[in-house]
Structure 1
Amino acid sequence: MEEGRGDREKCTDGGWTAQRASNGGVVVGGNGDGDGDDAGKSLRRIVRLFFACMVAGGIQGAGGIQYGWALQLSLLSPYSQTLGISHSYVSLTWICGPIAGFVVQPIVGYYSDRCTMKMGRRRPFILVGCLIICISVMVIGFSADIGRHLGDTKEHCSTYNGPRWSAAMVYIVGFWFLDFANNTVQGPARAMMADLSAGRHGPNVGQSIFSLWMAIGSVVGYLSGANGKWHEWFPSLKTAACCDACANLKGAFFTAVLLIVVSMSVTMYLADEVALDKQDVGASSGSGGGGCAVFVDLFKSLKNLPPTMFRVLAVTAITWLSWFPFIQYNTDWMGREIYHGDPQGTAAAADVYDAGVREGAMGLLFCSVALGATSFAIPKLCRKLTSKVVWSISSFLVFALMAVMVVVGTVSMRGYRPSLAAGLTGPDPTLKGVALAVFALIGIPQAVLFSVPWAVASEVTAEEGGGQGLAIGVLNIAIVVPQLVIALTAGPIDGAFNKGNTPAFGVGGAFAFICGVLALIWLPKTRGVSNAAVVAGGH
């Protein structure tokens, strides 16, 4: 991309001069009056940027799509176990995420850097990805009903707690399509945010808006996941194959489709992308060569990686190694270790587990509130402390919180025997309170996770040159590889220790401590802001 170039166009309407920075054909300037705009115009630009990125905060943070992500992260691991997938194999269902990230994001990022469609570089991919997401969540929501038609048991779901393999296969297919579609949106959404905020606002401001949308969508999504009334509000969602918990999932996913359509429409309308001229494709997007060129360019990028970017990738990888155990098992931990439920046990045990999952979703809502509040402070913190110090502090905080989860889970399960649990009236109030506090506090480092690494990578990329789309595809490798490692090893660790989710959280805490040290040693001393006036974080 030609990130630093600005072309001035004289406009006769009102005698003002518009500055168009050709960051991939995205209008980032406003109505200028000589040296700068007044505060009102600056505020209008920020407001427009905020709403234009409603879906760009999308896959990892938009109101609509993050709503769906929140449901996926809080409900789908528990739901898959109700279909017969054992706890030790749940992590394997997440393998589609890293595979999709490795294959889809670089390809989509490469072609979004080169796209010459009239609607712009990024929006065509966002549109297609959102439509596939809507279809995928409906397939997942109706997987039990589809499985029944494909030959699963005809027994009523209120009395049958055995495996439903046809439904499980439909669920896995929907899950794979969902992750592929998520990754179709994620790269262009991140790149569009970098495009929109480049030059004037700085990468940390843009990524903080991204993080804020993530928080908004997550709050609504986790609130929906914590709600156990969907089946009462819409009784038609219940069928012989889909009882209360399943019907609640359906209702939440129907709402997700509505919000995705709304947020996508706002972004499609407000994002001021200008079509890229075909003659500028080579100059702005790197070498040509067709579809295979994306992986050629990708591996060339890895081969010729400058030391600074290599260190960013290494620390990013270790950071995500520390986070994936929590991401995959948060609500399952609440349902199993804190509430002592069992998704494949008796009806009473399954109900207790479902109550714990809903409580975990409520904890993740608190997490999202903390994430949103923290996102406002990140630009200022990075300017004062530097990005690497903020990154390091957040990793040490993750280490402390993971350690607390290990201790709380161990204490809760000490002396617990399922055969003696018939009279269990609920979780220990103190342990439940500590667990919810951990969920809330972990939103603080999560705000850093979802903004600072991308801002650092964007700044390093701007200094080294190259397209944001392909750069984000390269950075994504440092995320998908750790996810693949955790997906492949979490099950064997669970089987070896037979201690539920506690060993995985212990591993995550160890990686968080290592990351905190390496962030201080390896990361460049960036502050994530441009030389232009910063409009957020106090200036």
Structure 2
Amino acid sequence: MEGDSKEAAGRVEWATMNLESGGTEKADGAVGNASRKQPVSIFRLFMACMVSGGIQYGWALQLSLLSPYSQTLGIPHSFVSLTWICGPIAGFVVQPIVGYYSDRCTSKIGRRRPFILAGCIIICVSVLMIGFSSDIGRHLGDTKEHCSTFTGSRWSAAAVYIVGFWFLDFANNTVQGPGRAMMADLSAGQHGPNVGQAIFSLWMALGSVLGYLSGANAKWPVWLPWLKTAACCDACANLKGAFLTAVIIIIITMSVTLAFAGEEPLSKDDVVATSSDGACSAFGDLFKSLKNLPPAMFSVLAVTAVTWLSWFPFFQYDTDWMGREIYRGEPQGPKADIFDAGVREGAVGLIFTSIALGVTSFLIPKLCRKLTSRVVWSISNLMVFVLMTVMVVVGMLSMKGYKPALTATLTGPDPKFRGIALAVFALMGIPQAVLFSVPWAVASEVTSKEGGGQGLSIGVLNIAIVLPQLVISLTAGPIDGAFNKGNTPAFGIGAAFALICTILALFMLPKTRGVSSAAMMAGGH
């Protein structure tokens, strides 16, 4: 998230910085861009931002591999959504706190670098916990039966996995907010914040593509045979190998960032005096600000919330759908290899999604100027409705008459359904480009026209993103359990919300045409 949910959550820091100064840019100057002795070159900016690529590499692995992997540990499909609750919680809680204290950090190595360093260390530990959760669980008392024949639950491994998953989400938020803020610090003045955020997004795109490629790779246990153990078969070994590379990449990118950032220490005299409530005051101000929002912002908030209700099922179940409905595999048992192949194919599909997203992003400003932002937003939701409906229909047709318990032979996917599924993944990148830019652009333009604080409004807009994610995480599992239809119910719900939002966007959103590059960068792309 943010990208997925994390990306959306990362924008709270900007709002927090502006909250402390009443919605102006006072905080940026007073809290302080510590003065630098010499201008920052583009090359230095590019190298200082490298950590964002490392973080996105790990996030791409998390999006593509962890929902399927959790089921190999015996976590029921109907409970998988609950493991993702940490995303919206981390975005809502961690980002304001980290943003608050990173603005006021007087460490000798700078304001942002201590948080980047600490966050990356926690990410590496979390990734190792996830990758080796099966082995750790075996040592903690899980079954001694070989993973190729055991089909039950491994609760010790599942507990280690969930702890690692939650720490990973919290640590990602700890790094991304200060990372964006540091780029704004370094690029201020000579280059401007748009350049810094554009470089940040470029590294994120590179990290996403490399991460999905790593997740699609099936050769890790071939290259590193020691990855396979009695508790960790092929799918687990692939995940373990991909996550070990994530540790290496994060260490390298973090080291380069820390070396090239060159932050000047913030003097205690430069820290703006704040209330004794500390970070809690940021939350209080955020909620109090709701009454000061421009009237049109409430329409933007409503449409944004419904939009994310339609998208989160895709973010959560995309590769699982490919492994379960298209490849007709199972996370455990004799069809586990087929399921794992489908998951890897889903990671390939997400590469297509990322490419389509990047290409479409260049067209969005022109489309919004020609059609208005609300029409573009409405069309994108109509497209999500059509594509998710196709996913529901294709999944049902693929599984029609198929009885896993009665099918002795191992059959792969129908080539026709596989091709349609990959096309759907690629086309999903088009509305995803709108998701990551237009809501933030509309919010920015509404507040500028009606005299509101832009940073404040964008911070509030983040609430309209994390709350729907929380709702889907809590309800997707029970709905799945009630219907017992795999991913079909979640995608059906997503399609219904997308259709509702198609209408809401046309009638509730204000007429706006501009999508600035600043808004695009704030939107996480």
TM-score, normalising length: structure 1 = 0.82
TM-fit CA distance, 1:449: 2.4
Q: Does residue 304 of structure 2 align to residue 294 of structure 1?
A: no
Q: Does residue 433 of structure 2 align to residue 447 of structure 1?
A: yes
Distance 1:87 1:164 in 2: 15
Q: Does residue 63 of structure 2 align to residue 73 of structure 1?
A: yes
The farther-off stretch of 138-147 and 368-377 is 368-377
Alignment of 1:493-512 (within 5 A): 493-512=479-498
Distance 1:29 1:526 in 2: 40
Letter paired with 2:329: G
Q: Which residue of 2 aligns with 1:366?
A: 352
Alignment of 1:8-47 (within 5 A): 24-25=32-33, 45=42
Q: Does residue 336 of structure 2 align to residue 340 of structure 1?
A: no
Q: Which residue of 2 aligns with 1:165?
A: 155
Q: Is the 8 A contact 1:388 1:523 kept in 2?
A: yes
**Counterpart selection for 1:250 from 240, 243, 254:** 240
**Counterpart selection for 2:499 from 513, 516, 536:** 513
TM-fit CA distance, 1:313: 3.0
Distance 1:386 1:205 in 2: 25
TM-fit CA distance, 1:274: 5.1
Q: Which residue of 2 aligns with 1:186?
A: 176
Distance 1:140 1:432 in 2: 29
Secondary structure of the corresponding residue to residue 396 of structure 2: helix
The farther-off stretch of 252-261 and 506-515 is 506-515
The farther-off stretch of 308-317 and 244-253 is 308-317
Distance 2:468 2:199 in 1: 26
Letter paired with 2:50: M
Change beyond 3 A, Cα 1:228–1:263: same
Cα deviation 1:402-448 (Å, max 9, x = unaligned): 12111211211222222443234311111100000111111222233
Distance 1:213 1:404 in 2: 32
Q: Does residue 489 of structure 2 align to residue 525 of structure 1?
A: no
Letter paired with 1:529: S
Change beyond 3 A, Cα 1:204–1:5: closer
Q: Which residue of 2 aligns with 1:10?
A: none
Cα deviation 1:489-534 (Å, max 9, x = unaligned): 1111112222211121111122223333333432562624379xx9
Cα deviation 1:175-222 (Å, max 9, x = unaligned): 111111122223333444566677888877766554443332121111
Distance 2:66 2:87 in 1: 13
Distance 2:364 2:192 in 1: 12
Secondary structure of the corresponding residue to residue 282 of structure 1: coil
Cα deviation 1:268-314 (Å, max 9, x = unaligned): 3444755555455438xx76632322322222233433334434333
Secondary structure of the corresponding residue to residue 50 of structure 2: coil
Cα deviation 1:344-386 (Å, max 9, x = unaligned): 3x22x11111111111111112112222333344455455555
Q: Is the 8 A contact 2:367 2:376 kept in 1?
A: yes
Q: Is the 8 A contact 2:32 2:271 kept in 1?
A: no
Q: Which residue of 2 aligns with 1:329?
A: 317
The farther-off stretch of 74-83 and 192-201 is 192-201
Cα deviation 1:61-108 (Å, max 9, x = unaligned): xx2111111111111111111111111111111112222222212212
**Counterpart selection for 1:304 from 281, 292, 300:** 292
Distance 1:71 1:199 in 2: 36
Change beyond 3 A, Cα 1:519–1:123: farther
Cα deviation 1:35-56 (Å, max 9, x = unaligned): xxxxxx9xx64x655544333x
Change beyond 3 A, Cα 1:208–1:395: farther
Distance 1:390 1:251 in 2: 41
Letter paired with 2:348: M
Change beyond 3 A, Cα 1:515–1:201: farther
Change beyond 3 A, Cα 1:98–1:301: same
Q: Which residue of 2 aligns with 1:316?
A: 304
Change beyond 3 A, Cα 1:215–1:475: same
Q: Which residue of 1 aligns with 2:409?
A: 423
Q: What percentage of residue pairs aligned between the two structures are identical?
A: 74
Change beyond 3 A, Cα 1:50–1:424: same
Distance 2:512 2:277 in 1: 36
Letter paired with 2:278: G
Aligned residues: 497
Q: Which residue of 1 aligns with 2:49?
A: 53
Secondary structure of the corresponding residue to residue 159 of structure 2: helix
Distance 1:266 1:170 in 2: 31
Gaps of 5+ in 2: 1-17
Q: Is the 8 A contact 1:105 1:473 kept in 2?
A: no
Q: Does residue 468 of structure 2 align to residue 482 of structure 1?
A: yes
Change beyond 3 A, Cα 1:201–1:65: same
Distance 2:513 2:114 in 1: 32
Secondary structure of the corresponding residue to residue 124 of structure 2: helix
Distance 2:69 2:240 in 1: 11
Change beyond 3 A, Cα 1:195–1:503: farther
Letter paired with 1:499: K
Q: Is the 8 A contact 2:370 2:513 kept in 1?
A: no
Gaps of 5+ in 1: 7-19, 32-40
Distance 2:262 2:445 in 1: 22
Q: Which residue of 1 aligns with 2:4?
A: none
Q: Which residue of 1 aligns with 2:133?
A: 143
Q: Does residue 341 of structure 2 align to residue 355 of structure 1?
A: yes
Q: Which residue of 2 aligns with 1:38?
A: none
Q: Is the 8 A contact 1:311 1:522 kept in 2?
A: yes
The farther-off stretch of 357-366 and 303-312 is 303-312
Secondary structure of the corresponding residue to residue 423 of structure 1: coil
Distance 2:155 2:109 in 1: 43
Q: Which residue of 1 aligns with 2:203?
A: 213
TM-fit CA distance, 1:111: 2.5
Q: Is the 8 A contact 1:193 1:206 kept in 2?
A: yes
TM-fit CA distance, 1:263: 2.5
Distance 2:368 2:200 in 1: 16
Distance 1:499 1:27 in 2: 59
Letter paired with 1:111: Y
